[in-house]
Each structure stands twice: as structure tokens, then as C-alpha cells.
Structure 1
């Protein structure tokens, strides 16, 4: 829903009634992930998409029906041999979709307004909605900010609201969209509710160090991937707007000094293209001790070996050095700056999602997968271990194939 925040926020401001269908769960191969949304207003105008075309017509009809009867519904769309080209997903996946009417006079409009307005402004916000549970709670929502303030309520249960806000804040801080199970009293045991949390956060940062021709191409690719891109170099003659017109920020400073004073988090990407020991050694010593999703450094294998030795000498641990992608990028046979930028971007995406970097024709794992879907030992770097839940969740869903 928050992926179409600009348009939905405008509809709210104009007082339009609408219904919104949101993908809340995906299994198998599907063209769009959780959070993808399609909305229909009272005039039949549609915005957004939930499947890239596979089930848009059927979901559109569900939205029209929800506007007419005011009922929140959850539907499952999946592949079926008999009806594959009508409603089923011919790619073989399964989508669970929550359809929520938002009439012009709905009490919940204030909750949606807070979430949509914040997302439209580029602020961090999460929308938590009940997607499994008693009919009277289905679709109930909380809009949650990073500071813990929130709008909305889940059926007059303060303990439940506080527990959901706490879990939602954790997911928002990590920029994650996912579901979790919880009991109506707010405890994690014997869960009888499933809550879908949709996070909208500012664009992640890409920090490119070294104002060289390869950096020019990488900046363009970074913007294409929706990063907020900063170029930093100590040499003012090279770090110019004329050379990097697509960069969001251009900083003239020693790279390690800038990195120490700027903000990084678990989504930040650090690309070290300086290719000069006096810049990249102090920079990497700093970077490998900061939170970041990806840290890569350009250089030959010989340069990497020398760099690795020097970093060990200044006290970096094996665990810290394991975070370094060097030489930077995937083996695509790249030669030009543009090809090299593509190889770097491909490795960043693989590291983010646990991709193997293999041709899909040579891989046996699902095309659309999370890190947790991978067999042990596959994917970019080993994901963090996730503790098993203290209580075994119950699941329920109503299938729909056509």
C-alpha cells in the first residue's frame, strides 16, 4: 500500500472513497512481493499493481465489491492447471491479498492518512494490519513512527496495541516488510492473529569513494536502483558536479574522515574505488567497523592480498574482514566503466537478497527467494541466524484458484 503512497495520499486529501488490495504473502514464483498494491476509487479509476498482470482483473473486481459492501476480505490466488490463464498465476506462485475498503467517512482514514502522508514525504513509517484473525479485527491498522508514536487501534486492546507497535518498530528500523504472529493479549504464545507490517523508509545510501570514471557509471546505476548516492574524494579537481551530475551529494574530504562523521545503517552500501592505499586503507579500516549492508573495494587480486595483510596488521578481525567484497563485483567479464558498474551492482543485489550470482538456467533454487529459502552454503554471504519462535504458530488460509 505504501508503494503507491503519493497517489493514495492525494485521494485521501480529495475525500475520495477507495479500496486497496495489498499483497501480504507470497509463496513460489510471483512477479511482485509483499506490499505491492492496487487501489480502485468509487469512479473505477485504478492505480498500482499486485501481480504485473496475472490477476489484476480479478483483484480489481474484489476492490469494486469491497467498496460496495464495505467488507475486508483476504483472498488467495494460485496456479491451477484448469484455470491457469484466467485467474491463476501461470508462473506457478501463490499470492495472498488483503482487500480493504476505505470509505470517505471511515474511522480508519486517519490511520491511513498518517501513514500515507509520511511515506509520501519520504519519512520512515510503517503500517501494521491484521491479516488473519477474527472477522472484527481483520484489516484493523496501526500507523507507527520510528519514535514509537502511532495512530489507530486494534479493537480496544491496549496490551495488543503496545506489543504490535514494539514489533513494528523493530521491523521499521530494519526497513523490512513481513508478517508476524501474536496472541490477542499481546503475547507471542498461542498466536491467534497474524499482523502484516509494511515499512516505508527513506532511500538507502550508496557511498562511492573515488571520483574516477568507473564512479561516474556506478553513480548512474546506483540512482537507477533507487539509492541516495554520495560521491566523496579528497581531490576537488575531480569531485565536481560537472563530472557527477547524477549524484545526490558530492563531498570533498578525505574519505575516512567523511565516513566517520556521516550516517550509515544496515542498508548502506560502501563502494571503495579509490584504488590508492593512502585513501582506501584508513577508509576500509573505518568502514568494516560500521553498520553497512555491503562494503566492496576495487583492485587486483594482488592489491587485495596486500590490502588484507595491512588491514590485519591494524587489528581488524577475521569476522570484520569477511564483510569485505574484494575484488569488487561479480565476474561478468566486464571491461568498460559501464560494464564494471553493472558487475558491482549485481553483487550488491546478490548480497542483499542472498543471490548465488549463477545463471538462472544453472540454478535449482526458486527464482524469487529470500535468504532463508537458500540451502546451507548457498547465496552471497551467510545470513544471520534467526532464533526459532518460542511458540509454534498456527496457520490458516482460504485458497482461491479461479
Structure 2
């Protein structure tokens, strides 16, 4: 749901009726995880469909469910898949989805507050009752608000789960009692993408990084090149020496650092500092010859062999990229593979399910 936050709020602020269908449990292999949503807004010019809950095979059922919610205003659950509970829709991948349809309106202040936090790029978390008595279905608990009609002891369990889920950023399912199940939906604050070097690839990388949910900064010591006009997709353009700027900001394990300058006077002090920090991905552009020379200079600067193993250089996956955007795709593909631990080989060369298989608890 949080992936639709900006658009949902836009429709809500315009006074348009909106119904949301959210995946609350995944069984087996399915293309979308718990928390993803489709929404249907009733606009003056007709319906508008936002988002998706599958690769296409369950969208018609989700749309029909949203229409039902718009008409009745009451939350409703449905099971999509092939088993004794299945309805008319099955997932071609063989997986099963349980979904919850509910109306989004001003009567749901806790939910709306978390949507606004997600749209602002801040942490957001809520638990929504996806199975239970009719009077509880669709009710929301947040870290600071809502009680969903749950007993105090159960409410404490739910809030502790919300806090834990915000640490790893993964949505999930919670069954605090035999009678109630909640989908726990979280959206962490946008991670940082730090691009050093106001070169042409930086423009493409900032555009792609923003689309992938990063808070993008472009930094270069040359004021002539580091301008907001040249990098309209960046959240921030900084004129400063790269190593000095890096030392002035907070970096964490979700931070991506892309060094595109391939100039030793910038690269060596910057990478020395970066490799001494917690950034999850550190990559540097340059030829293999440049890379080898850079490694020697970093060793001379005191960077350990263990730290140098963290450096992705030359940066990016070998996609045969030529244009700035192709190069940006190769870089972000490596970032994703590095984060997930994926082999980054063609899916056709693998075996087994291409989506993660979720085993029922």
C-alpha cells in the first residue's frame, strides 16, 4: 500500500472515493509480496486503477473486489489461488494470495497519517486486521495510535511487531491470537544514493535512483557542473570536496555510494573514508587499468585488503552498456544484486521458482 502513498493521498485530498485491495498473505510462489496493493478511485471522468497485486493474473479479481468495497463501504476478504478455498481466479505461478479490500477515507486518520509519512519519505508502519470478527476487519493499529478493538495484551504484541518490522523493512503477517490475524505493513525512510561526480552518467543515475525510491544527492567540487539545472531528479546537489561532504553526513548500511569521478585527487580520499564506513554498497567508475592503479593508491593510504573487497570496481554489471542510462541500469542492477545476494544471472539459466516461496507458518 505504501508504494501508492502519494497517489492515494492525491485522490483522497481531491475528495474522490477510493477502495484499496492489499495482499495480506502469500502462500507458495507469487510475484508480489505482502503489503502490495491495487486501488480504484472513482473520479469525475470514471474509474482510475492504481498499482497491482500480481503479475496480471489476479488484477481483474482485485478490481472487482474494489468495486464491491466502493459500493458497500464494508471491508471484505478474498482468497485467490488453487485450493479448497479458491475463488474463480488462480495465479499462473501456482501461488495463492489472501487479500483485504477496504475503503480509504477521512474516517481512517491513523492510516492516513502513515500514508503521509511514507509519501514524505519517512518511516511508516501499521497493522491492519485481515482476519477476525466482522467488526474488527480492516481496523488499524500504528505505533502511536489506533487499537483495532484489541485487548491491551494483544495490542502490545502488535506494536512490538511493528517496531521490529521497521528495523528490517519487511512486511509480514502476525497472528497474536487464534481469532485474529493482522497484516503488518512497513515502509522505511528512503535510503540514500550518494553520487560523486557531476558527469553525464550522474544525471541518468539520479533519475533511475529516484524512481527506485532513493533520496539522491549529487556532489562535486566544481560549481560549474554541480547545478540543480543539470540534475533535476536529484533531491540535493552539493558543491563540496567529496571526502569532506561524506564526513559531514550520516551514512548507514542502506546507503549507496557511487563514485563516478575517476580522478585520483577526489577518489582516493573519498573511497578511503567510504570503505571505513557502514555503507551497504560502494562502487567506483573507471577502466580496469584505472581500477588497478586506484587499488594501489588505496593500499598506500592504509585501506585494508578486507575493506577493499567491499569495493565494486569497475562499477556495475556487464550488460554491454553504452549510453548513460544503460550504464545507470547496470549500476543499479548491481546495487540490487548486492543487497539481495542474488546471482545476477539470466533467469533462464536457473531452476525452481523465480519468486520467493513463502511457507505457511
Q: TM-score, normalised by structure 1?
A: 0.74
Change (3 A) 1:157 1:291: farther
Change (3 A) 1:307 1:132: farther
- Which of 45, 54, 63 pairs up with 2:57? 54
Counterpart check, 1:93 vs 2:87: no
Q: Name the structure 1 match of 2:147.
A: 153
Shift, 1:10, TM fit: 5.2
Describe the superposition over 1:252-291 as per-residue Cα deviations: whole angstroms up to 9, x where unpaired: 1111110111233333211011212222122122222333
- Which of 206, 225, 250 pairs up with 2:193? 206
Q: Name the structure 2 match of 1:77.
A: 80
Give 1:145-184 correspondences, 5 Å limit: 150-174=144-168, 176-181=169-174, 183-184=176-177
Describe the superposition over 1:53-78 as per-residue Cα deviations: whole angstroms up to 9, x where unpaired: 42223223334445666664443312
Describe the superposition over 1:200-254 as per-residue Cα deviations: whole angstroms up to 9, x where unpaired: 3443321111223333333333334343322111222332345434433221111
Counterpart check, 1:127 vs 2:126: yes
Conserved? CA contact 1:127–1:142, under 8 Å: yes
Conserved? CA contact 2:204–2:324, under 8 Å: yes
Change (3 A) 1:182 1:287: farther
Q: Name the structure 2 match of 1:118.
A: 117
Describe the superposition over 1:128-157 as per-residue Cα deviations: whole angstroms up to 9, x where unpaired: 22335666654332133xxxxx11014343
Structure 1 regions of 5+ residues with no counterpart?
A: 145-149, 185-190, 374-392, 396-402
Q: Secondary structure at the match of 1:119?
A: helix
Matched positions, count: 356
Q: Distance in 1 between matches of 2:67 and 2:118?
A: 25
Deviates more, 1:244-253 or 1:12-21: 12-21
Q: Name the structure 1 match of 2:257.
A: 270
Shift, 1:346, TM fit: 1.7
Shift, 1:17, TM fit: 6.1
Q: Distance in 2 between matches of 1:261 and 1:117?
A: 29
Q: Distance in 2 between matches of 1:102 and 1:213?
A: 42
Q: Distance in 1 between matches of 2:56 and 2:8?
A: 20
Q: Secondary structure at the match of 1:216?
A: helix
Q: Name the structure 2 match of 1:36.
A: 36
Describe the superposition over 1:355-380 as per-residue Cα deviations: whole angstroms up to 9, x where unpaired: 3221121122533349xx9xxxxxxx
Change (3 A) 1:35 1:275: same
Conserved? CA contact 1:205–1:267, under 8 Å: yes
Q: Secondary structure at the match of 1:22?
A: strand
Q: Secondary structure at the match of 1:271?
A: strand
Q: Distance in 1 between matches of 2:63 and 2:31?
A: 17
Q: Distance in 2 between matches of 1:363 and 1:307?
A: 35
Conserved? CA contact 1:114–1:151, under 8 Å: no
Shift, 1:22, TM fit: 0.1
Conserved? CA contact 2:196–2:261, under 8 Å: yes
Change (3 A) 1:241 1:13: closer
Cα-Cα RMSD: 3.6
Q: Distance in 1 between matches of 2:42 and 2:287?
A: 60
Describe the superposition over 1:60-102 as per-residue Cα deviations: whole angstroms up to 9, x where unpaired: 333444566666444331258xx99x62122443322122356
Q: Distance in 1 between matches of 2:154 and 2:298?
A: 49
Q: Name the structure 1 match of 2:141.
A: 142
Q: Secondary structure at the match of 1:38?
A: strand
Conserved? CA contact 1:181–1:192, under 8 Å: no
Q: Distance in 2 between matches of 1:310 and 1:130?
A: 57
Q: Distance in 2 between matches of 1:99 and 1:283?
A: 49
Give 1:3-18 correspondences, 5 Å limit: 3-9=3-9
Q: Distance in 2 between matches of 1:114 and 1:222?
A: 26
Q: Distance in 1 between matches of 2:63 and 2:55?
A: 13
